[in-house]
Amino acid sequence: MHLEMQVQETDGYLSIKAVGPYSLIDLRDLFDRVKAESEMRADRGVVLDVTEVAGTIPVMDMHVLGEHCSRVWKLQCRIAIVAQEGGLNKFFENVARNRGVQVAVVPNLGAAIAWLN
């Protein structure tokens, strides 16, 4: 996996930051790792920061990623994804939400924490 993942436990949520170049396989693997980290910590809310994942994500990849996260992320787990322009967006969010995932793509940490609460 080419994405580095940094995990921090904070009051009320799990903070995960991903850094590295974008690839569909790496981001899909990251979602699997987010699930594992969340389960080890009693399924608290998660803030996933992908602002330092370099590269543009094609629309079809967002669809594939939305479907994948719906298969791996539990319904009771809330995940706020902090993303920049060209990264994950509302289309990804809609694909995942339409399949039952409690996820929001937001522009910054403040919005992510507000959504989790």
Span 59-117, pLDDT tens digits: 999 999 999 999 998 767 899 999 998 899 999 999 999 999 999 999 999 999 999 98
Let me know: does 38 contact 77? Beta carbons within 8 Å.
yes
Architecture of domain 4-116: 2-Layer Sandwich (3.30)
Angle at 58 between CA 76 and CA 94, to 5 degrees: 30
Q: Where are the domains of the chain?
A: 4-116
C-alpha to C-alpha distance for 32 and 28, rounded to whole angstroms: 7
Q: Which residue has the tokens 């399949």?
A: 99
Let me know: does 13 contact 41? Beta carbons within 8 Å.
no
Q: What is the pLDDT of residues 20-63, one digit of tens each?
A: 999 999 999 999 999 998 888 776 799 999 999 999 999 999 99
Q: What's this model's pTM, rounded to 2 decimal places?
A: 0.93
Let me know: does 37 contact 77? Beta carbons within 8 Å.
no
